[in-house]
Amino acid sequence: MDFMSDVQQPRFVVRIAKGAYAVLIAPARAFMAVRRAMTPASVSVLLFSIVTLNIIWGFPWLGIFSACVGMFIAGCIIHFITLPVLNTQFSLPNSAPKDQPFQITIHAQNRSVLPAMDFGFSFAPPPSPSRRWLFRHRKNFPDYSVQQSPQHHLFLSPSDSATHNAVLTFHRRGIQKLPNTVVTGSFPFHLFASRVNSPSTITIPITPQPLTGNDDHTKGLLNNLGGWSHKLLSGDQLDYTGSREYESGMSVRRWDFPSWARLGIPIVREFQSPSIQHVFLIIDTAIDTGTEEQKSTNDDGTDPAFEQMLSLATTAIHELAKQTVKLQLFVTDNSVPIHNDAGTTSEVLLNNSDPSATFLSDTDTESMLIKLAGAGPITTAAADKQISTAIQIAGRSPTLILTTRNLTDLGAKQFHSCTVMRTDSPQRVNAAPRAQPMRRTAAGHVEPV
């Protein structure tokens, strides 16, 4: 009991100290709040009251002084009492592409017992970069831009709602928070004007932008992707399923002449129909930081090669979603979701457990893009484990692996019907071809296609 009292006593002292500090600085905070809320109208009223003090007092000047002081004090009290207290909600899409505008609606509900009068609300503009004249500093580009028309509301009853439409554009990929909501109030008579920033807790996934560009490297990546897609849909060796004995009346797509000569009976090769093909897309988010060239980042702290790979993955998802294939996506991640006996989901760090590959449904393209929006760099060891598991799940199905590094640690035995495509710049790629499809021969050896 004495021990508990000894523990609670310092907490009580700290609580008393915080209360005393709040009481001491309350006048200063009130003064600064009034100073920030003053408008040209309230400044004019204050100046008139000061001027009347320097004049010989008489009937008119005494009345003007009283009116000015009373208007200033009453207006200040009424302004802070009737300052709007709004509860905001948002109507927004599930995701949005990078650098593409989208519309969002703010629904503000008056949760005060008093009506909100002469007020407005909107998104906070992006902060301007701070200027430092004596030292060089990195330019901080705003993460978003907003287009909105200022709307002013004269009256809003308690529990009633008002709306505000705006157009947002995010310039960085990732899970981004919405901008803060700014509520302004200027009642009564615009004597005072206050701004209240409400931090937002709502997030929206900003998906990578499809790969576009006129440079040779970008054109090469798009050509490689288009060639792989054309080869996939044309029914060549990528969708080969096996050989069987020829039966009369069956359609023959390709004869298996080596097997025919060895067995002495007609053998045909069978291929999986493109209408029922399962295609796996594996995104390797590991970044090899072994050289200085691989450590280059933009001014906003992003890796251009990494972002380019995700943009190419977005293009691949859009292109394959239009075809008659069943696409399944896998993105390496720092943690993988597992389900316990109770059915709940928890996050397990890969450093503490064996990774397991999880694929997204092919019917929801937006879920795949959201997965790309939350992708981040991981260690090469963790990525190798996840890629190995994903390749085992894919089996002999056509698989495209997008990466920015050499996958030499996995070994050739991991690749069956995989195409490894490096997406980084030519300066970071060896003399090996950027797209390297692998296949398993009849003897069990792995060789390039």
Instruction: Give yes or no: residues 229 and 279 share one domain.
Output: yes
Instruction: Give yes or no: residues 299 and 432 share one domain.
Output: yes
Instruction: Give yes or no: residues 183 and 234 share one domain.
Output: no
Point out the residues of the chain with pLDDT beneath 70. 1-9, 56-59, 129-140, 235-240, 272-276, 289-301, 335-363, 409-416, 426-449
Instruction: Give yes or no: residues 397 and 436 share one domain.
Output: yes
**Domain end position, chosen among 207, 226, 258:** 207
Between the alpha carbon of residue 46 and those of residues 77, 94, 186, 291, the distances in Å are 15, 51, 17, 66
- Tell me how far apart the alpha carbons of residues 403 and 357 are, in angstroms, rounded to a whole number: 17
Collapsing DSSP states into helix, strand and coil, what is residue 368? Answer: helix
Instruction: Give yes or no: residues 121 and 66 share one domain.
Output: no
Instruction: Give yes or no: residues 155 and 247 share one domain.
Output: no
- Tell me how far apart the alpha carbons of residues 349 and 61 are, in angstroms, rounded to a whole number: 76
In a domain, 133, yes or no: no
Contacts for 137 with CB less than 8 Å, ≥ 6 apart: 130
Q: Is the peptide bond before 188 cis (omega within 30 degrees of 0)?
A: yes
Look at residues 258, 168, 237, 256 and name the one whose alpha carbon lies nearest to residue 204. 168
**Domain end position, chosen among 152, 173, 207:** 207
Burial of 153 (0-12, 13-18, 19+ CB in 10 A): middle
Tell me how many domains the chain contains. Answer: 3
What does R_g of the chain's alpha carbons equal in angstroms?
33
Instruction: Give yes or no: residues 181 and 247 share one domain.
Output: no
pLDDT tens for each residue of 265-274: 999 988 765 5
Instruction: Give yes or no: residues 50 and 92 share one domain.
Output: no
pLDDT tens for each residue of 14-47: 888 888 888 999 999 999 999 999 999 999 999 9
Q: Where are the alpha helices (DSSP H) in 54-108?
A: 59-81
**Where residue 149 sits, what CATH number does that domain have?**
2.60.40.10
Instruction: Give yes or no: residues 245 and 375 share one domain.
Output: yes
In a domain, 134, yes or no: no
Instruction: Give yes or no: residues 239 and 345 share one domain.
Output: yes
In a domain, 26, yes or no: yes
Per DSSP bridges, beta strands 144-148 and 102-110 are unpaired
In a domain, 136, yes or no: no
Instruction: Give yes or no: residues 193 and 72 share one domain.
Output: no
Instruction: Give yes or no: residues 68 and 157 share one domain.
Output: no
Contacts for 392 with CB less than 8 Å, ≥ 6 apart: none
Q: Which residue range is the domain that position 110 belongs to? A: 86-127+141-207
**Domain end position, chosen among 207, 237, 258:** 207
